[in-house]
Chain A
Amino acid sequence: MSTMSLKDLNKIPVRLASGHRLCAGCGESIIARQILMGTEKDVVVTCSTGCFEVSTTIFPYTSWKVPYVHTAFGNGAATCAGVETAYKALLKQGKVKEDIRFVNFAGDGATYDIGLQALSGAMERGHNMLFVCLNNEAYMNTGIQRSSATGFGASTTTSWAGSVSAGKKEFPKDMTAIIAAHGVPFAAQTAPHAWRDMITKSQKAFECGGPSFINAISPCPRGWRFAPEETINISKLAVETCIWPLYEVENGTDYTLSAESMRIAEGKVEKKPVTDWIDSQGRYKHLKNEKWEPVVEKLQKENDRKWASLLKLCDL
């Protein structure tokens, strides 16, 4: 698919039916629909346990109009790799003839934490599959517990903000870089407000001929404490503050900043302060208290450092 008009995209059959049980304003179904617009070929969807899995497959109903399988929480990559391996076996025997693509959707828990080992294994072995992280920055399915993707200073139900705590004490780990370091053909960060960015990346991922990874930030009204209609605005703000820069990495070393983040790098668009990010969500509301000023400063400083480091990787 070379064109990218909304009219053309509309012709791609809908793979995820409406009527699923995700919360109003959830970013996950938006991301999944955009990712699945990235290929016109037959696709098999697999899921790690999490919000997205439970909300789309409550027996006797399924929201999936394409083949779908889920097994457990920490093994989404192996779940997908199993179907892909069977495909290779049956394709060479002529028992399957279609040109099929494979994608696993996982939350940040099933990517950054419990699912990391299986993900690393699948990426290293070179299965021809796309792994998408629906990154809502905490264990939302079990009720907003911190993960290693949770932002510094966020209040969660296991990293509460309290009289002696400013919320989560650690910065999130750089999962996209970790996967890129496997030397996979394609790894990228994207966000649901940037539909063109996301679909282009999905197309590249599906056609890269090997393992690929897309880390999509997924604003969560319940967990981040904002109104459901703000999802797309929050997604945009993540990029504007450089909390979530958009970029892609080919073959582990070739970093390219994507258009929206590039405009900030070139100075065409203002890089917004992290206070804009903090002010937009209830999970950070305690940081408005004067006593946590040093925490906000630390967040801005680390955000600047990471942004500068990314620009260097992109030869900017």
Chain B
Amino acid sequence: MTMPKKHSDLAINGDNAVALAWKQIDPDVCAAYPITPQTIIVEKFAEYIADGEVTTEFVCVESEHSALTLCTTSCSAGARTFTATASQGLAYMWEMLPITSSMRVPVIMAVANRAVSGPININNDHGDVMSARDCGWLTLFSENVQQAYDMSIIAPRIAEHPDVQLPCLVNLDGFILTHAIERMTPIDTQIVKKFVGEFKPMHPLLDVKHPVSHNLMDGPLFYFPHKYQMVQAMNNALKVAKDVFKEFAEISGREYHLVEEYMCEDAESIAIVLGSSFGTMKEAVDQLRREGMKVGVAMPRVFRPWPIEDLAKLMKGKKSVIVMDRHLSVGAYGPMFPEVCAAALENKDVPKMYNFIYGLGGADTMVSDFMSVFKDVKDGRATRINYLGVKQ
């Protein structure tokens, strides 16, 4: 491979960064319905269409349900297909989410994470994507605008891999990443195209000389085995993701991992968090380290498949693990907490486990708030489940 041409950095928001990645990939089909805070992606992409900068067939559907339906069958017909949504849009798509994955079509969907109604709220939390977590989609998280761009380029490589063949959600926090302008280093378009490669669909519908039937009715004899095939594909995705991350580092100089770690190695207490809060928590860790506290923070880059082995390794020997959930299963824990606890069971000794629910509906969570989390745990003020910043 020729050495990447040095590109000048851009000042760009997360939605435009995703649209830029899409433009460089130039998918065959895109169908989407606008919803705050994802709207900029479809608007920008429509602009690329209008200016002839992409060859994509762009369909302005009448709803998110039709968006994902159209994308699913377009992909099963043999076209590389992208879409984007958020919040209510993802909720409206919900019926189709497990159908897309069980049809084993690698649709790529950007999710501009936003709270789910009600009450209606347009700000960031992870209620939308967490309600989609059991639907069989690969799920990637981004910490900043650069990563939202990078994950958009990486996603099709994992999703379309013959050993995987599953759709993929690329998450970026609403407003915090979608609308905030950050500095970003793009990759040369030719290098992006070469990296992503040509879409090679399996048994596409449009191969009319070899007719196939897609998405038939399963009785009890076949439904469970078919679901198990998806389990195997998810397991395969762990290795595929690692390989793709390695290859991506070669073209970008940016190295990604199944679980991203910051100051975890010698830490006694670590937090596990998703999305843009990873950055805020790194700053909290820095400040606490200066105060002499041995703390660290980690982010599962890949949320589905759940990287059990890497998480177990991360938690080994730690005194306490704090799971930061930006969503709440009302009447239980945050959605990530039980999963982290289960991963901890892979080790002989399980750390003390704490769950902090934070930032719902865009509730501001500052560096000082995250610092207080570590301090509450250290000083024994934390309970099993805590609601950060809410007066109880």
State yes or no: do A and B come from one complex. Answer: yes
Stretch at the interface among B14-22, B63-71, B289-297, B342-350: B63-71
Chain A residue nearest in CB terms to B73: A82
The yes or no answer to A30 lying at the interface (CB within 8 A) is: no
Structural contact, A90 and B28, CB atoms closer than 8 A: yes
Q: How far is the CA of A112 from the CA of B103 in the complex (A)?
A: 27
The yes or no answer to A79 lying at the interface (CB within 8 A) is: yes
Stretch at the interface among B53-61, B176-184, B332-340: B53-61
Known interface pairs A68-B213, A78-B69. Does A59 touch B219 (Cβ–Cβ under 8 Å)? yes
Structural contact, A71 and B99, CB atoms closer than 8 A: yes
Structural contact, A82 and B71, CB atoms closer than 8 A: yes
The yes or no answer to B239 lying at the interface (CB within 8 A) is: no
CB distance from B3 to the nearest CB of A (A): 30
Which of B59, B74, B211 contacts A65, CB < 8 Å?
B211
Structural contact, A86 and B81, CB atoms closer than 8 A: yes
Number of A-B contacts (CB under 8 A): 163
Which of A64, A78, A80, A81 contacts B65, CB < 8 Å?
A78
- Most A CB contacts (10 A, CB to CB) among B75, B211, B212 go to B211
- Most A CB contacts (10 A, CB to CB) among B31, B69, B78, B207 go to B69
Structural contact, B217 and A92, CB atoms closer than 8 A: no
Known interface pairs A58-B217, A75-B69, A118-B69. Does A69 touch B205 (Cβ–Cβ under 8 Å)? yes
Known interface pairs A89-B57, A92-B55. Does A124 touch B62 (Cβ–Cβ under 8 Å)? yes
**Total residues of chain A contacting the partner, CB 8 A:** 48
When distances are taken between beta carbons in the complex, the residues of chain B under 8 Å from A118 are 62-63, 65-66, 69
Structural contact, A85 and B29, CB atoms closer than 8 A: yes
Known interface pairs A53-B217, A79-B73. Does A121 touch B96 (Cβ–Cβ under 8 Å)? no
Q: How far is the CA of A59 from the CA of B103 in the complex (A)?
A: 13
Structural contact, B31 and A85, CB atoms closer than 8 A: yes
CB distance from B145 to the nearest CB of A (A): 29
Chain A residue nearest in CB terms to B62: A121
Q: How far is the CA of A154 from the CA of B74 in the complex (A)?
A: 40
Q: How far is the CA of A78 from the CA of B66 in the complex (A)?
A: 5
Known interface pairs A53-B217, A79-B73. Does A96 touch B206 (Cβ–Cβ under 8 Å)? yes
The yes or no answer to A88 lying at the interface (CB within 8 A) is: yes
Structural contact, A81 and B206, CB atoms closer than 8 A: no
CB distance from A68 to the nearest CB of B (A): 4
Structural contact, B70 and A100, CB atoms closer than 8 A: no
When distances are taken between beta carbons in the complex, the residues of chain B under 8 Å from A65 are 211
When distances are taken between beta carbons in the complex, the residues of chain A under 8 Å from B212 are 67-68
Q: How far is the CA of A9 from the CA of B219 in the complex (A)?
A: 36
Q: How far is the CA of A58 from the CA of B211 in the complex (A)?
A: 16
The yes or no answer to A72 lying at the interface (CB within 8 A) is: yes
When distances are taken between beta carbons in the complex, the residues of chain B under 8 Å from A117 are 62-63, 65-66
Known interface pairs A69-B215, A78-B69. Does A86 touch B28 (Cβ–Cβ under 8 Å)? yes
When distances are taken between beta carbons in the complex, the residues of chain B under 8 Å from A74 are 65
When distances are taken between beta carbons in the complex, the residues of chain B under 8 Å from A98 are 208
Structural contact, A64 and B213, CB atoms closer than 8 A: yes
The yes or no answer to B72 lying at the interface (CB within 8 A) is: yes
Chain A residue nearest in CB terms to B218: A59
Q: How far is the CA of A44 from the CA of B95 in the complex (A)?
A: 23
What 0/1 readout, one digit per residue, does chain B (21-56) give for beta carbons within 8 Å of chain A?
000000011010000000000000000000000011
CB distance from A39 to the nearest CB of B (A): 13
The yes or no answer to A258 lying at the interface (CB within 8 A) is: no
The yes or no answer to A70 lying at the interface (CB within 8 A) is: yes
What 0/1 readout, one digit per residue, does chain A (47-76) give for beta carbons within 8 Å of chain B?
000000110011111101111111110110
Structural contact, B65 and A75, CB atoms closer than 8 A: yes
Structural contact, B217 and A85, CB atoms closer than 8 A: no
The yes or no answer to A293 lying at the interface (CB within 8 A) is: no
Structural contact, A60 and B65, CB atoms closer than 8 A: no
Structural contact, B222 and A81, CB atoms closer than 8 A: no
Structural contact, B99 and A81, CB atoms closer than 8 A: no
Chain B residue nearest in CB terms to A15: B211
When distances are taken between beta carbons in the complex, the residues of chain B under 8 Å from A42 are 208
When distances are taken between beta carbons in the complex, the residues of chain A under 8 Å from B78 are 86, 90, 95-96
When distances are taken between beta carbons in the complex, the residues of chain B under 8 Å from A85 are 29, 31, 57, 59, 70, 74, 79
The yes or no answer to A46 lying at the interface (CB within 8 A) is: yes
Which of A70, A82, A88 contacts B70, CB < 8 Å?
A82
Chain A residue nearest in CB terms to B215: A70
The yes or no answer to A83 lying at the interface (CB within 8 A) is: yes
Chain A residue nearest in CB terms to B226: A59
CB distance from B243 to the nearest CB of A (A): 27
What 0/1 readout, one digit per residue, does chain B (86-102) give for beta carbons within 8 Å of chain A?
00000000011001000
Structural contact, B76 and A100, CB atoms closer than 8 A: no
Structural contact, B96 and A67, CB atoms closer than 8 A: no
When distances are taken between beta carbons in the complex, the residues of chain A under 8 Å from B29 are 82, 85-86, 89
Q: Which of A191-250 contact B (CB under 8 A)?
A: none
A residues adjacent to B (C-beta < 8 A): 42, 44, 46, 53-54, 57-62, 64-72, 74-75, 77-83, 85-90, 92-93, 95-96, 98, 100, 117-118, 120-122, 124-125
Would you list 18 pairs from A and B whose C-beta atoms are within 8 A, ordered by A residue?
A42-B208, A58-B217, A67-B211, A69-B214, A70-B215, A72-B95, A78-B70, A82-B74, A82-B75, A85-B74, A86-B57, A89-B28, A92-B55, A96-B206, A117-B65, A118-B66, A120-B62, A121-B66
B residues adjacent to A (C-beta < 8 A): 28-29, 31, 55-57, 59-63, 65-66, 69-79, 81, 95-96, 99, 103, 205-208, 211-219, 222
The 7 closest A-B pairs by CB, nearest first: A121-B62, A82-B73, A86-B77, A86-B79, A78-B69, A78-B66, A62-B213
Given contacts A72-B95, A82-B76, A86-B75, 20 further A-B contacts (CB under 8 A): A44-B206, A59-B217, A67-B208, A68-B212, A68-B214, A69-B73, A70-B216, A75-B96, A82-B69, A82-B77, A86-B73, A86-B74, A87-B206, A89-B29, A89-B55, A98-B208, A117-B62, A117-B63, A121-B61, A121-B62
